[in-house]
């Protein structure tokens, strides 16, 4: 049995989500729903440098649950500095803590570009936090 996971750092994802008003559907059967528009995003790591192209739709479909935690459903398209398009999606759980907000997610990458095809088979985990602009995650490949 493992007491820790062997991981390799892939990069840090940052996303701006605080620039557009978020509609709220309060008291629904699954909790309070909110949609945060992702207005910009970047992924920077040892082997990848990518940003969200201007005008591309991206969002964070968030559900606040009865216990105060929240679930995430996020989708973002990125373009690397050398022209490859990568679709990034993730689900996760967030909780308010004494130190702010703690978020855990499982990012999934999709690309047709051979230079980054290894990402299609990566199982990743990420540890996130809120920032003034939105969110930031350190993303790790489970080895």
What's 86's domain CATH number? Answer: 2.40.160.20
Q: How far apart are CA 21 and CA 91, in angstroms?
A: 22
In a domain, 68, yes or no: yes
Range of the domain at 43: 15-128
Structure tokens at 56: 């591309």
In a domain, 141, yes or no: no
Read off the pLDDT of residues 84-139 as tens digits, 9 standing for 90 and up. Answer: 999 999 999 999 988 889 999 999 999 999 999 999 999 999 999 999 999 999 99
DSSP state of 121: G
CA dist 37 → 69, 81, 111 (Å): 20, 23, 23
In a domain, 109, yes or no: yes
Look at the chain and report how many structural domains it folds into. Answer: 1
Q: pTM (2 decimals)? A: 0.93
């Amino acid at each position: 049995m493992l007491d820790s996971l062997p991981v390799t750092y892939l990069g840090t994802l940052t996303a701006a989500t605080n620039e557009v008003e978020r509609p709220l559907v309060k008291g629904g059967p699954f909790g309070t729903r909110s949609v945060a528009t992702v207005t910009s995003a970047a992924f920077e790591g040892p082997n990848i440098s990518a940003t969200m192209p201007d005008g591309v739709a991206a969002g964070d479909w968030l559900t606040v649950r009865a216990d105060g935690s929240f679930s995430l459903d996020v989708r973002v398209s990125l373009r690397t500095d050398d022209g490859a398009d990568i679709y990034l999606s993730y689900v996760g759980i967030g909780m308010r803590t004494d130190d702010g907000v703690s978020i855990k997610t499982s990012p999934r990458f999709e690309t047709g570009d051979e230079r980054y095809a290894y990402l299609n088979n990566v199982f990743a985990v990420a540890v996130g936090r809120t920032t003034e602009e939105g969110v930031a995650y350190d993303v790790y490949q489970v080895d």
